[in-house]
Amino acid sequence: MKRIIVKFLVLFSILMVLPIVAFTQENKSDGIYLILDASGSMWGQLPDKKSKIEVAKEVLNDFVKGDFQDKELAFRVYGHRKKADCTDSELLIPFGSPENVITGIKDSLSGIKPLGKTPITYSLKQALIDFGDRSGEIILISDGVETCDIDPCELVKEWKDKDVEIKVHVVGLGLDEKSKKAMKCIADASGTEYQDASSASELKSGLTKIKEKATAPALIIKGKDSSGNSIRIEGTLSGDGEEQIEVSSNRRYYKVEPGEYTLMAGVRTKNGNLYKPVTKSIKVAESGETGVEVEVEVPPSVKAKFTDEGEEQRGSLIHAYQDGKEVFKFRWMDEVYLDEGTYEFRAKPNLENDLSVTESFGPGDHKEIVFEMIHTVLVKVKMVASDSDIVFRQNYELWQDGEKKYLVHFHNGARILPGKYDLRLPHKLFIYDVKDIEVTDEDEQQFDFTVPVGHVTFIY
């Protein structure tokens, strides 16, 4: 049974480097999402003898009246309805413009009474759903660490790995040192600065710092080829006297100070280099979002195909070499960009096929290399103990002329050359052999055998 994989080629025309042009940002709103801890411990007192919940309500009432630069606001609370419920987290005010939700947030704050647990991770997961296709900032105000689910730090790390365009800011309210460390981990994982507060003034100061960063000017970068097709680009952004910032077009936006910057960007190849990067001066506006679109030259690309007697087959990892040294590797189903030059591509999809193809690439080359495989067939074996349905779940051995030739995985099987073999089950208590198994040219073959065994019952 042959497995045929259909692939689609994307053809690129020869490209020229053109200047950066401005673009209009798509109409996707940004949001600031407040999460307030209303667990039972929020009745606790701060050094000034005020309860934590009292201080939080007081500061948030003033905070939501500030200028949020047209960003939408939302408000969620946890731990306020049930004493021991790890899903007690409620979106009280969905996203809306500040002028439309301020009254609702203030009214909601007045009715909150701390009661239950601290389901931070669950609340963050629900917040991600509430954001929809928005990007933006979550501001978490909590007086304690997670008491229900997995470590929220791990969740936020996962978000960052997946390029979720939502940052999590944390304000710890009256935390001990151990709790501060755990809550700081959430902020660190998100790339934000943890804020600590033990009074109303410190809470107000922390929230103000977060808002200033959340509403700072944003830079959005897009890449395109000469035909106007979107393409991922990477590079650096640098300003006078400031460190370079690594940037890429797969990020929603970058928070930067307004002013003049130098942007260098291009397509990154599998070699790790930027291909003919473009360098331009840009100006980030005083407020709102500044969008730049960079037109770049597309590097050469390579994709691979494995064939067996003209039929396309599943391949293996491909290693690219130059001057005898491996420079990169890629999966057989991928198309990747690479630097110009000559490469030896090596692949070993099975024991009988240790393959090599040499190819050269110049500007505008987009080539498919073909690995022509020696014909092999897929063999699967299943051995069952007699008078039972017990399957021997271990690798089986195929021997030929007194030499062990192949290991056949009990589930995936193995690709082998057609021929006559002895099949061996190397069990830890015995060795079971089946002589002269005939493997034909049929692409996929299944061999089933019953192994005669005895059964022993031990009575104590």
pLDDT block averages, 10 residues each, the chain of length 460: 30 32 50 96 94 97 90 96 93 95 95 95 96 93 90 93 90 94 94 95 96 86 94 92 83 82 96 96 85 95 95 94 97 97 96 95 97 94 92 94 94 93 91 94 94 84
d(CA 152, CA 185): 9
Which of the 8 DSSP states describes residue 51? Answer: B
CB 119 within 8 A of CB 79: yes
pTM greater than 0.75 (yes/no): no
CATH 3.40.50.410 is the classification of domain 30-214:
yes
Is residue 133 within a helix (H) or strand (E), and if so which, with residue range? none
Which string of b and e fits 252-267 if b means at least 16 CB within 10 Å?
bbbebeeeebebbbbb
Which pLDDT does position 323 carry in this prediction?
96
d(CA 158, CA 189): 9
Which pLDDT does position 339 carry in this prediction?
98
Which pLDDT does position 214 carry in this prediction?
86
Q: Which part of the chain has CATH 2.60.40.10?
A: 301-373, 377-451
Q: Which part of the chain has CATH 3.40.50.410?
A: 30-214
| Paired residues of 384 in beta bridges | 391, 450
Which pLDDT does position 3 carry in this prediction?
32
Q: What are phi and psi of 332, to 5 degrees?
A: -65, -25
In this structure, is the dihedral angle defined by the CA atoms of residues 117, 122, 123 and 124, taken in order, positive or negative? Answer: positive
Q: Which part of the chain has CATH 2.60.40.1120?
A: 218-295
| Paired residues of 371 in beta bridges | 306
Please choose, from the candidates 57, 210, 223, 37, the residue with its C-alpha nearest in 3D space to the C-alpha of residue 123.
37
Which pLDDT does position 6 carry in this prediction?
29
The CATH H-level superfamily of 218-295 is Carboxypeptidase-like, regulatory domain (2.60.40.1120)
Copy the structure tokens of residue 214.
């959340």
Please choose, from the candidates 81, 183, 144, 118, the residue with its C-alpha nearest in 3D space to the C-alpha of residue 92.
81
Q: Which residues contact 20 (CB under 8 A, 6 or more apart)?
A: 263, 278, 280, 282, 292, 293, 294, 295
d(CA 336, CA 365): 12
CATH 2.60.40.10 is the classification of domain 377-451:
yes
The CATH H-level superfamily of 301-373 is Immunoglobulins (2.60.40.10)
